[in-house]
Amino acid sequence: MAPKTFSNTQQTMAQGQGFGFGLGKMKELADAIKKAQQVQEGAKQLQEDLESMEIEGDAGGGLVKVVMSGNQEPLRVEISQDALAEGVEVLSDLVLTAMQDSYQKSTTTMRERMESLTDGLNLPGLS
């Protein structure tokens, strides 16, 4: 009986390398898919968490407070009686400052949560 011969492709596949995509690469791919699924589940939970958060910004030492959700949805504005005595222009500035404070805190919270969710993935644009 003549010895069996293999083509280069068959020999390569028999050595576990496939078409340049060996077992090591398959494990890396499986790990990446698993991590992507975990990130997807985490992102869904993160969205729910952000929607239920209440992040408060204030101005004038608490004369005006603006509360937003973690995904920047305005929830309420609280204006103290003392703020009303400051006049329309000052009150307008206080409301704007409180809104900006709340927005900044909300976006910082969202960014920090996303960074912890995607930690170790080295995704472009999320650093």
Model confidence over 66-96: pLDDT tens digits? 999 988 999 999 999 999 999 999 999 999 9
Range of the domain at 42: 22-117
In a domain, 103, yes or no: yes
What mean pLDDT is predicted for residues 43-68? 93
Q: Is the pTM of this model over 0.85?
A: no
Mean pLDDT of the chain: 81
In a domain, 1, yes or no: no
In a domain, 98, yes or no: yes
pLDDT for 127 equals 46
Number of domains composing the chain: 1
Residue 46, pLDDT > 90, answer no
In a domain, 17, yes or no: no
The CATH number assigned to the domain holding 87 equals 3.30.1310.10
Residue 45, pLDDT > 50, answer yes
In a domain, 93, yes or no: yes
In a domain, 53, yes or no: yes
For the chain, the DSSP string reads -PPP---HHHHHHHTT-TTT--HHHHHHHHHHHHHHHHHHHHHHHHHHHHHH--EEEEETTTTEEEEE-TTS-EEEEEE-HHHHTT-HHHHHHHHHHHHHHHHHHHHHHHHHHHHHHSTTS--TT--
